[in-house]
């Protein structure tokens, strides 16, 4: 791969800046002409997993209506083929293991009875950040139509979108007051203020706004403990709004209720300014948005069984866990509070009641599940995360 390539966070930031200035960003298109959320979390149908953080935002900004993405090797393995001349999209992710060919004493590859090279998976000493190339389903021949795939997926849903949204709000036990004409989160009082339900055009818009404010609520020091400073309209305030807005896209897609851009349009100028001066801020914002998404969905009734099982494994001092295109190290533990450090050197406290804690426990319990891409079969660029 050419060393002249810009880092992925710069590429994504530049594209988002252009779309914000043109009024065509995902934030500014909450619905499609088909009256469904315009942004759908991109996912890999061969693994059944969603792409996360900045990868999700990046793939969602490509000019495709189909949310399915996969590598060429994954497509070939499924019996599909990538169209000739199709341009791939690059993503980055954390890799904790590697697939290698099994060789004999002379260094020759050993093949099975069918003539295929035998391989084995080996754990890496340190997690690495790597990039890979994926193609959209619209660029792949032979893949089943999206409508067939989505019909099967929707058949597994037991909750209607609005019922699920209400269950999330109720299970969070957030204090939500109704009245007036404004929607906001008051960090000092730790309360959400919303207009009455009948003041919204419909229930869908009410829940979209409510979940956006619940995203801000997640940042309280007793939860994800984000830096939430600055007055309304300030640059610091806009940084928090960017996180909540990206999280709203993800949650709106997950619950199939879309999101509400509304008053957040006031932050576009600040977002553009911030991203031009600090392109890497988009990576941080997307990572925080993923944490918000995961934290709020921990209140989803259909995930309760999974989380009960995940508590069998706990975090311990010295753990280094790959999750969401990042690596988290447990520096110390005092009671139920963990002192953490991420790959960029940022340190923070994590409580066992936080959504990120459950996500890291899941990643520790099943590290291979964090790898969306089949390794060793696509051109990649790898760099070791420094310690």
pLDDT digits 0-9 by tens, 276-285: 999 999 999 9
Q: Which residues pair with 136 in a beta bridge?
A: 69
In three-state form (DSSP H/G/I as H, E/B as E, the rest C), the secondary structure along the chain is CCCCCCCHHHHHHHHHHHHHHHCCCHHHCCECCCCCECCCCCEECCCCEECCHHHHHHHHCCCCCCCEEECHHHHHHCCCEECCCCCCEEEEEEEEEEEEECECCCCCECECCCCCECEEEEEEEEEEEEEEEEEEHHHEECCCCHHHHHHHHHCCCCCCHHHHHHHHHHHHCCEEEECCCCCEEECCCCEEEECCHHHCCCHHHHHHHHHHHHHHHCCCCCCCCCCCCCCCCCHHHHHHHHHHHHHHHHHHHHHCCCCCCHHHHHHHHHHHHHHHHCCCHHHHHHHHHHHHHHHHHCCCHHHHHHHHHHCCCCCCCCCEEEECCEEEEEEEEECCEEEEECCCCCEEEEECCCHHHHHHHHHHHCHHHHCCCCCCCCCCCEEECCC
pLDDT of residue 102: 83
Strands 175-178, 191-194: pairing is parallel
Q: Give me the chain's average pLDDT, please.
A: 82
pLDDT in tens, 372-384: 333 333 434 333 3
Residue among 313, 317, 328, 327 at smallest CA distance from 362: 313
pLDDT of residue 211: 93
Cα angle for residues 295, 346, 322 (degrees, 5° grid): 60
Instruction: Work out the number of other CB atoms within 10 angstroms of the CB of residue 127.
Output: 22
Name the percent of the chain lying above pLDDT 70.
84
pLDDT of residue 36: 53
Residue among 48, 53, 135 at smallest CA distance from 94: 53
Contact 43, 70 (CB under 8 A): no
pLDDT of residue 141: 96
Structure-model confidence comparison of residues 97 and 284, the more confident one: 284
End-to-end alpha carbon distance in the chain? 25
pLDDT of residue 373: 37
Is the pLDDT at 239 greater than 90? The verdict is yes
Residue among 209, 249, 235, 265 at smallest CA distance from 57: 249
Instruction: Tell the burial category of 311 from Cβ atoms under 10 Å away from its Cβ (0-12, 13-18, 19+).
Output: exposed
* Cα–Cα distance measured from residue 348 to residue 10, given in angstroms and rounded to the nearest whole number: 25
* Cα–Cα distance measured from residue 363 to residue 365, given in angstroms and rounded to the nearest whole number: 5
Over residues 104-131, the mean pLDDT reads 79
pLDDT in tens, 178-214: 999 999 999 999 999 999 999 998 898 899 999 999 9
Is the pLDDT at 342 greater than 90? The verdict is no
Instruction: Work out the number of other CB atoms within 10 angstroms of the CB of residue 321.
Output: 23
Token pair 């929707």 in the structure block, residue: 154
Name the percent of the chain lying above pLDDT 90.
40
pLDDT in tens, 135-158: 999 999 999 998 877 776 665 556
């Amino acid at each position: 791969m050419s060393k002249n390539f810009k880092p992925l966070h710069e590429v994504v930031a530049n594209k988002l800046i252009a779309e914000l200035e043109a009024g065509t960003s995902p934030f500014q298109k909450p619905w499609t002409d088909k009256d469904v959320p315009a942004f759908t979390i991109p996912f890999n149908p061969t693994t059944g997993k969603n792409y996360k953080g900045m990868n999700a935002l990046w793939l969602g900004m490509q000019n495709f209506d189909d949310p399915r993405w996969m590598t060429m090797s994954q497509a070939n393995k499924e019996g599909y083929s990538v169209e000739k001349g199709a341009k791939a999209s690059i993503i980055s992710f954390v890799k904790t293991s590697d697939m290698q060919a099994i060789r004999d004493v002379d260094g020759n590859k050993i093949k099975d009875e069918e003539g295929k090279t035998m391989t084995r998976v080996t754990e890496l000493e340190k997690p690495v950040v790597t990039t890979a190339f994926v193609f959209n389903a619209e660029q792949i021949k032979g893949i089943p139509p999206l409508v067939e795939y989505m019909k099967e997926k929707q058949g597994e849903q037991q909750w209607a979108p609005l019922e699920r949204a209400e269950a999330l709000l109720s299970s969070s036990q957030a204090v939500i007051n109704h009245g007036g004409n404004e929607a906001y989160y008051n960090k000092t009082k730790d309360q959400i203020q919303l207009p009455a339900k009948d003041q919204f055009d419909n229930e869908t818009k009410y829940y979209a706004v409510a979940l956006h404010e619940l995203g801000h609520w997640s940042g309280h020091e007793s939860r994800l403990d984000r830096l939430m400073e600055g007055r309304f309209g300030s640059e610091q305030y806009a940084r928090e709004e960017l996180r909540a807005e990206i999280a709203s896209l993800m949650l709106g897609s997950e619950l199939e209720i879309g999101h509400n851009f509304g008053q957040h349009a006031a932050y576009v100028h600040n977002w553009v300014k911030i991203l031009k001066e600090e392109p890497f801020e988009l990576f941080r914002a997307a990572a925080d948005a993923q944490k918000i998404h995961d934290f709020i969905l921990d209140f989803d009734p259909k995930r309760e069984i999974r989380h009960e099982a995940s508590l069998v494994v706990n975090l311990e001092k010295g753990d280094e866990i790959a999750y969401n295109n990042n690596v988290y190290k447990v520096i110390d533990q005092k009671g139920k509070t963990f002192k953490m450090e991420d790959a960029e050197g940022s340190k923070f406290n994590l409580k066992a009641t936080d959504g990120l804690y459950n996500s890291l426990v899941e990643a520790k319990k099943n590290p291979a599940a964090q790898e969306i891409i089949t390794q060793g079969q696509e051109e990649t660029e790898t760099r070791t995360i420094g310690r």
